[in-house]
Structure 1
């Protein structure tokens, strides 16, 4: 699938942009994503349950928890979680959405565990002092604690100064400075 449209409905359905938007497979996917009553937490919990139950993909003490933040450029102020922030994929600050993600990995395979969107402080009535506001580091710490069930040997991150890894050993990249 072409890299420039791998997240679009037409790209997911394997049809041409614009013209293919009316194709029945695209319309079915659009209907499913926008109108279904499924709960993404339940779907993800079941996905993880199946991964951990299968000996080929089950976590073991030889694996590590990889924590990363990734962002996508987005425009508009009405989109949830959007804000002016560092978008590492682009190598610059811009308007976008950032999620903190975890995946379990060993020397042979990896699979994603959880992804939690980060909401900049402007989305909260009291800004960064609001009880509901969480920094990316706080989200990463929560994900680390919840990943204890994945039986990880260590936590690996590209940069997370001050991350509480809940007593799990960690490896982090150091900034050149």
Structure 2
């Protein structure tokens, strides 16, 4: 079975951890699938993977479509391996990041879940499959934990009223709960789309910290310096009030951006609540753009850890980009968005096998200098 020029013993060592998840025949196919994910393709497909490993296409198709193996067992085994290794185990300075990603499928007509919806990588609507994912992120490392396919309401009879339908927030809640049982993390971070009252309240009740950002249409219930009463204020009005009435309380905060450079921004911090949300919140208003490419002239970050400094809130929120790096690596290196299976459970299988092939998973058994050879060469 040695179809690679190098590194086969190390790769096989990693794969043997999953032997209990498969029968002998399934294990042989599982090994070939992982091998195939390290091959360079112009466009990946099951047919291309079969040819790369000199395997019959029907065997690949059957493994993804009809072969009976437990994807949850694979997920559990992978996390157990990661947590046992010193270099990959979660650390106290890390957070659970939650976000979704899209896989464009503009010509898909029969692919389950591929509907006209917002596609994050394209920053616009497109026919795509969407998955809600969770990742561990810290200043020194990031790795994907899990991803669950999202099925739009149109896929169900009676749409959102169908009890089987789960919106993205419900999937995020499930990820939060499952990760809480397997990984020790102090808090979670997510973008403004997930900063709903439903999600914030649940995280707070579970005794976890959250770091997020609010959209420009959210109402903040706070003291109005002109009206002299507590009322709801929109973010745009808040920024105007800060500049006019609280300019003496604006503070410069210096922090590192996602590219490692240091920047300094004007900030204003205060405690208040969001409309229709009883969670006490610390708000950190950043008066300025993140960078020259930013479309927004300000950002309002939130946390339920009221004693956090503005710098801590900003630094922890920026860890959110770690999950974006996870998605990018899976797509650029392991063809996460290249699949030719139609049913959502088959797509789920493909996504999770790709996630299994990520650098962080393989670093559990491979030396760091070997990991730089991201692609193994087929003979």
Q: Which has the higher helix share?
A: 2
Pairing of 1:1-177 with structure 2 (within 5 A):
13-15=39-41, 21=48, 24-25=51-52, 28=55, 33-36=60-63, 37=67, 38-74=69-105, 75-148=107-180, 149-159=182-192, 160-162=194-196, 163=199, 164-165=202-203, 166-177=206-217
Root-mean-square deviation over aligned CA pairs:
2.6
CA distance in structure 2 between the partners assigned to 1:42 and 1:142 by the alignment: 17
| 1:66 CA displacement | 0.5
| 1:154 CA displacement | 1.2
Structure with higher Rg: it is: 2
Change (3 A) 1:14 1:66: same
CA contact (8 A) 1:13 1:26 kept: no
Change (3 A) 1:39 1:82: same
- Residue 7 of structure 1 aligns with which residue? none
SS in 1 for 2:147: strand
CA distance in structure 1 between the partners assigned to 2:38 and 2:121 by the alignment: 21
CA distance in structure 2 between the partners assigned to 1:144 and 1:97 by the alignment: 21
Change (3 A) 1:14 1:127: same
CA distance in structure 2 between the partners assigned to 1:151 and 1:11 by the alignment: 30
SS in 2 for 1:98: strand
CA distance in structure 1 between the partners assigned to 2:56 and 2:40 by the alignment: 11
Q: TM-score, normalised by structure 1?
A: 0.81
* Larger RCO (alpha carbons 8 Å, 6+ apart): 2
Name which of structure 1's ranges 21-30 and 52-61 shifts more when overlaid on structure 2: 21-30
Q: Aligned residue pairs: how many?
A: 167
SS in 2 for 1:43: helix
CA distance in structure 2 between the partners assigned to 1:69 and 1:23 by the alignment: 30
CA contact (8 A) 2:113 2:151 kept: yes
| 1:175 CA displacement | 2.8
SS in 2 for 1:13: coil
CA contact (8 A) 2:50 2:57 kept: no
CA contact (8 A) 2:97 2:137 kept: yes
CA distance in structure 2 between the partners assigned to 1:114 and 1:11 by the alignment: 18
5+ residue gaps, structure 2: 1-35, 218-379
